[in-house]
Structure 1
Amino acid sequence: MNIVVKTISKIALSSLLLASIGVGCRAKKDLVASPPEVVSVVEPPSMAFAAQEPLSLPALPASATWSPPMGDSIRQEMRAVWLTTAYGLDWPRTKADDENGLRRQQQDLIRILDRLAADGYNTVFLQVRQSGTVLYPSNMEPFARFFTSSGQPPAYDPLSFAVKACRARGLAIHAWLVTYPLASPKNAPHPLLQRHPAWGLKHKNATHLDPGEPGVRQYIASLARELAAGYDLDGLHFDYFRYPEDAVRFPDQRSYRLYGAGMDREQWRRSNLTRQLEEINQAVHSIKPYMQISVAPLGKLRKLPMLDRSHGWTAFESVYQDPITWAKKGLVDFLVPMMYYRDHLYTPFLQDWSQSVGRYVPVVAGLAPYRIVQDRWQAQTIIDQMEQERMMGSGGICFFREEHVGDKYPAMRQQIRQFFHRTALPLALPRGLEHRAQAPKLLRLVLEPNGERTVVWMHDRDAHEPPVTYRLWATLIKGNGERRGVLLAQGVREPHYRLRGEQFSGYERVEIGVEAVNSYGVSTPIDQALVITMG
């Protein structure tokens, strides 16, 4: 091989890229040749590299600009699933009562994550809190009872295990918390209500924490801080972040009298949820500024005057969620509305989300394949909804729940695999522009003693920068000048990547570029390429 390292203009380097990297851009329909079906996300092992002299590289001209190419076959898209742990609905199905049970419980999760990675998913929302119990060792709340027959914690930390397993498979993991409902029977009140009985209100035969109580909001923010401090999570995802069903009868007269400050009750309730998000952001980002915050609101944002039929309940009017304000204020990085409807209750509301909220943050449509079984929907309904989501340029798809897109329903699983068969990039989130990483420099090729070749680069990072991974692109050029752009790898965590010879078979020249991608999915423009002449 003849190896040359050179700096080329950002305009020329656009041929290396197949995806729009800019924040807020709309995903485009597939128009060009597909990339490889399998993309490596496995870190190469640590290795010692032969010392090389630094290369002197000319600076880019000040006028150079970069613009992504049109006609992308690789899109930014969240491909997610809600993995439910309450009652072991998705996991755990096996009790960790002894060493054998613990091993099988962990293997069950590994099988789920292996399947998700193989099927093209890139994100897992793992339920870590339900009814005031959690699946990690907490200083604030009792452990969930679903992991052992006795209800005692298992002999390992399930959340730590899940985080490591997701990392090994290139899957983002967000801790999914059910926010305000609380299990607190009279004969065994929840520990929180033993200390603060006024914080929990009985409503429709259930206990619901009162978002109007400042202490409740501080408590939820402290839970978020505990998770942020203890685990290498990509984000925190809040479910049931709302007032309960039939909220007009929710008995929060006391807190309204104390803290209403002259607002009408509906306005006050919406402001309570917005304040809660502000406090969560402050608590989490004081520890990890790069951690993502998201909410799963109701699927119908607000009443639509153009619909001449019943809406049912809506996020804004019925349960006092205000997603437009959350998005405008930057309190969420993305939203996952639960679009568990069809026909006239799906398309107009998806369009409303896209137009009203999508201009500020990505909207990921939460879909309901469980209704194929529960309500006898046709599987094609879900596929059609996925197609509509892409046509409207939404941020992706999330399925409720994992079981309904898994091995138990092979036809649905196969259709989703086909829908996800092209590689996806993680969403580039607006807040990430404030933390854009430096571009990798000094790309070079190292020949190892065993004959393998590794691309190596240098990357200067500020100690305060969020974590980064690396994404490698290549333009493959044949002798007749035909060019093909491919994504070689993403999710690489070290500044080196081992090449595979079969990746370049039949090509005369290869140009390789490396991006640094921060934890928000925002990448650096490539301003340097490694040019390899095959021979």
Structure 2
Amino acid sequence: MIVGVKKIGFGLLSPFLLYFGLSACQAQPEAFEVERPPKREFRAVWVATVDNIDWPSQKNLTPDRQRAEFVDLLEFYKGIGMNALFVQVRAAGDAFYAKSSEPWSEWLTGEQGRPPVPFYDPLDYMVRESHRRGLEFHAWLNLNRLVHRSSRSVSSQNLSRTHPAWVLSYDGAKLFNFGIPEVRQFITEMTVNVARNYDVDGIHFDDYFYPYAVAGQTLEDEATFKKYGQGFANKNDWRRHNIDILIKQIHDSLAVVKPRIKFGISPFGVWRNRRDDANGSNTTGGLTSYDHLFADTRKWLQEGWIDYVAPQVYFSGGFAKVPFKNLVDWWAENSFDRHFYVGQAAYRVGYEDSDKHWRNTSEIPDQVRYLRKDGADGSIFFSSRSLRRNSLGFVDSLRNEFYKYPALIPSMPWKDNVVPLSPQRLGATLQMAGLNLFWEAPPLASDGDSATYYVIYRFEEGEKPSAIDPRRIVGQCYEGTHFTDRTAVAEKKYLYYVTAVDRLHNEGRPVGPLRILIRDNRLQRFENEMTEN
């Protein structure tokens, strides 16, 4: 039996993302806790490739093994409720993708410069498989390295060999000299190249700008300062200026090539301490991104050069010099209407280090509770290996409590504030597998966007339809325009609504309600006996 409805609305909705397994649409749990979970929250993980930290598990696996390992990661993250991942695709003057002027990574093929055999493009594959599961894919590019301390293979095409004048040697590594304009231009072009050639959702840099200081070593950029540092009283201000130029240059270039792409930074957690700057955080740590890495991330937020910041708040709630809560408070107050994601130290959980608080089973759960109350837009965990290890069972708390229900990725109105139009002609048929819902894709919105995915809401008799509670989301679709509700039961009256969501997670008004009652193995319509907005 087929049932169809006309389109009606119940207010603007906010977006979300979820999917378990390989099917295009998936059902959600029905049980409801007393406290409503967030409708929008960024939930992500860093996947490090340098030195084979997270993926691939070792050098020179076959492409089939590499792909299988990556799909296994995706399935794991969807299974615990994540909605995005950051994959390191440039680790040290190399590339995990085909369309690059830099050589293939040794941590992919065993030898820098050697392509995969049989050939494939890992970045194309990773983006496609992530999107099939409703996961955002952010390309994580290391900004400063040409040769890592653990590098065992350096190609003749590595920039440290083709452009030795661009290089600074420090602490066993070879790094870019950011004071040289040609270096900044190359980094910009390398970054834009990824955005232009791959369907990534974001471009991401970590905390490596100028290097972390090592006792007894000096970064030899004095000659560059003398050549390019006119007008600066000291080298520190000049170094910060170099990074400022680079970040703005990349922001401006990305905006031209692909305006929708997100650009963000994961800096060291402390910008400045309050004892050194009235605008600083209530912390007393010895290291800061502004003073020691010459990265003025607060300025970049204030100027709108980045879309989000994900500071590495790798400190416990009980760490006296840099308490977790103090730092989260400061970033929440200094994000300047850009997104603030808390970088969380999954790698420290359960370890016997100087901070005993990391041996507390409630450390990560308490952090998630706090950041939700303090206005953060979500979390990114470092790193994949640590989440898979599930030390002290903290990942179980994500799966079973904090991330039990789906969350839409927060939208970015400064990039796109036009919601998609509603899907059309919502109907249903009863099949052996369950209640099959189907609809038509919406027309193009005023900005030319249609639907990237769909959200399916289900309400029972006596419930007030509302867009704010993710527990009423019964499923999502990332491919096609149909969904099978396998949890609908006979003799219950249901109201269904379906919304369209665009690439930047703006959610439009719904089509619906579709009023369904399953009786005698048939679908029946019923009158509007439920309260609607």
Q: d(CA) in 2 for partners of 1:169 and 1:454? A: 20
Q: d(CA) in 2 for partners of 1:491 and 1:218? A: 40
Query: Relative to structure 1, is the Cα distance of residues 178 and 467 closer, same or farther in structure 2, using a 3 angstrom cutoff?
Result: farther
TM-score normalised by structure 2 residue count: 0.80
Query: Relative to structure 1, is the Cα distance of residues 104 and 86 closer, same or farther in structure 2, using a 3 angstrom cutoff?
Result: same
Query: Residue 512 of structure 1 corresponds to which residue in structure 2?
Result: 497
Query: Residue 348 of structure 1 corresponds to which residue in structure 2?
Result: 326
Q: Is the 8 Å Cα contact of residues 241 and 296 (structure 1) preserved in structure 2?
A: no
The CA deviation string for residues 33-75 of structure 1, in whole angstroms up to 9 with x for no partner, is xx9x977994369xxxxxxxxxxxxxxxxxxxxxxxxx85343
Q: Does 1:223 align with 2:190?
A: yes
Query: Relative to structure 1, is the Cα distance of residues 530 and 470 closer, same or farther in structure 2, using a 3 angstrom cutoff?
Result: farther
- 1:353 positional shift: 0.6
The CA deviation string for residues 378-415 of structure 1, in whole angstroms up to 9 with x for no partner, is 14322222222112120111111111111464723212
Q: d(CA) in 1 for partners of 2:238 and 2:491? A: 66
Q: Does 1:432 align with 2:411?
A: no
Q: d(CA) in 2 for partners of 1:310 and 1:328? A: 23
Q: Does 1:300 align with 2:270?
A: yes
* Unaligned 5+ runs, structure 1: 23-34, 46-70
Query: Residue 399 of structure 2 corresponds to which residue in structure 1?
Result: 417
Query: Residue 180 of structure 1 corresponds to which residue in structure 2?
Result: 144
Secondary structure in structure 1 of the residue aligned to 2:242: helix
- 1:141 positional shift: 0.7
Q: Is the 8 Å Cα contact of residues 336 and 365 (structure 1) preserved in structure 2?
A: yes
Q: d(CA) in 2 for partners of 1:521 and 1:292? A: 12
Q: d(CA) in 1 for partners of 2:343 and 2:55? A: 20
Q: d(CA) in 2 for partners of 1:392 and 1:498? A: 36
Q: 1:126 aligns with which of 70, 78, 87?
A: 87
Q: d(CA) in 2 for partners of 1:307 and 1:293? A: 24
Q: 2:100 aligns with which of 123, 132, 139?
A: 139
Q: d(CA) in 1 for partners of 2:281 and 2:301? A: 25
- 1:237 positional shift: 0.8
Q: Is the 8 Å Cα contact of residues 469 and 492 (structure 1) preserved in structure 2?
A: yes
Identity of counterpart residues, as a percentage?
Answer: 24
Q: d(CA) in 2 for partners of 1:270 and 1:307? A: 20
Q: Which amino acid aligns with 2:266?
A: A
- 1:8 positional shift: 4.3
- 1:431 positional shift: 2.6
Q: Which amino acid aligns with 1:153?
A: P
Q: Is the 8 Å Cα contact of residues 183 and 190 (structure 1) preserved in structure 2?
A: no
Query: Relative to structure 1, is the Cα distance of residues 227 and 2 closer, same or farther in structure 2, using a 3 angstrom cutoff?
Result: closer
Query: Residue 109 of structure 1 corresponds to which residue in structure 2?
Result: 70
Q: 2:24 aligns with which of 17, 26, 43?
A: 43
Secondary structure in structure 1 of the residue aligned to 2:452: strand
Q: Does 1:385 align with 2:367?
A: yes
Q: Which amino acid aligns with 2:85?
A: V
Query: Residue 154 of structure 1 corresponds to which residue in structure 2?
Result: 116
Query: Relative to structure 1, is the Cα distance of residues 113 and 8 closer, same or farther in structure 2, using a 3 angstrom cutoff?
Result: closer
Q: Is the 8 Å Cα contact of residues 25 and 475 (structure 2) preserved in structure 1?
A: no
Q: d(CA) in 1 for partners of 2:225 and 2:492? A: 70
- 1:337 positional shift: 0.7
Q: 1:485-504, aligned counterparts within 5 Å? A: 486-490=472-476, 492-494=478-480, 496-500=481-485, 502-503=487-488
Q: Is the 8 Å Cα contact of residues 437 and 465 (structure 1) preserved in structure 2?
A: no
Q: Which amino acid aligns with 1:107?
A: A
Q: Is the 8 Å Cα contact of residues 245 and 319 (structure 1) preserved in structure 2?
A: yes
Query: Residue 507 of structure 2 corresponds to which residue in structure 1?
Result: 523
Q: d(CA) in 1 for partners of 2:192 and 2:124? A: 16
Q: Is the 8 Å Cα contact of residues 301 and 352 (structure 1) preserved in structure 2?
A: no
Q: d(CA) in 2 for partners of 1:316 and 1:398? A: 22
Q: Does 1:214 align with 2:181?
A: yes
Q: Does 1:364 align with 2:341?
A: yes
The CA deviation string for residues 160-191 of structure 1, in whole angstroms up to 9 with x for no partner, is 22222212222111111111122189997763
Q: Is the 8 Å Cα contact of residues 124 and 172 (structure 1) preserved in structure 2?
A: yes
TM-score normalised by structure 1 residue count: 0.80
Q: 1:272 aligns with which of 219, 242, 251?
A: 242
Q: Which amino acid aligns with 2:143?
A: T
The CA deviation string for residues 311-364 of structure 1, in whole angstroms up to 9 with x for no partner, is 12112222121222212222212111111122331221111111011x421111
Query: Residue 299 of structure 2 corresponds to which residue in structure 1?
Result: 325
Q: Is the 8 Å Cα contact of residues 511 and 532 (structure 1) preserved in structure 2?
A: yes
Query: Residue 51 of structure 1 corresponds to which residue in structure 2?
Result: none
Q: Which amino acid aligns with 2:404?
A: H
Q: Is the 8 Å Cα contact of residues 475 and 483 (structure 1) preserved in structure 2?
A: no
Q: Which amino acid aligns with 1:109?
A: F
Q: d(CA) in 2 for partners of 1:38 and 1:182? A: 37
Query: Relative to structure 1, is the Cα distance of residues 214 and 272 closer, same or farther in structure 2, using a 3 angstrom cutoff?
Result: same
Q: Which amino acid aligns with 1:43?
A: A
Q: Which amino acid aligns with 2:421?
A: A
Query: Relative to structure 1, is the Cα distance of residues 522 and 213 closer, same or farther in structure 2, using a 3 angstrom cutoff?
Result: farther
Query: Residue 56 of structure 1 corresponds to which residue in structure 2?
Result: none
- 1:300 positional shift: 0.9
Secondary structure in structure 2 of the residue aligned to 1:502: coil
Q: Is the 8 Å Cα contact of residues 2 and 429 (structure 2) preserved in structure 1?
A: no
Q: Is the 8 Å Cα contact of residues 365 and 389 (structure 1) preserved in structure 2?
A: yes
Secondary structure in structure 1 of the residue aligned to 2:474: strand
Query: Relative to structure 1, is the Cα distance of residues 286 and 416 closer, same or farther in structure 2, using a 3 angstrom cutoff?
Result: same
Q: d(CA) in 2 for partners of 1:309 and 1:96? A: 44
Query: Relative to structure 1, is the Cα distance of residues 466 and 258 closer, same or farther in structure 2, using a 3 angstrom cutoff?
Result: farther
Q: Is the 8 Å Cα contact of residues 468 and 493 (structure 1) preserved in structure 2?
A: no
Q: 2:202 aligns with which of 235, 251, 254?
A: 235
Q: d(CA) in 1 for partners of 2:167 and 2:339? A: 33
Query: Relative to structure 1, is the Cα distance of residues 198 and 284 closer, same or farther in structure 2, using a 3 angstrom cutoff?
Result: same
Q: d(CA) in 1 for partners of 2:96 and 2:515? A: 49
- 1:449 positional shift: 9.6
Query: Relative to structure 1, is the Cα distance of residues 423 and 313 closer, same or farther in structure 2, using a 3 angstrom cutoff?
Result: same
Q: Which amino acid aligns with 1:363?
A: F
Query: Relative to structure 1, is the Cα distance of residues 127 and 505 closer, same or farther in structure 2, using a 3 angstrom cutoff?
Result: farther
Q: Is the 8 Å Cα contact of residues 431 and 520 (structure 1) preserved in structure 2?
A: no
RMSD: 3.5
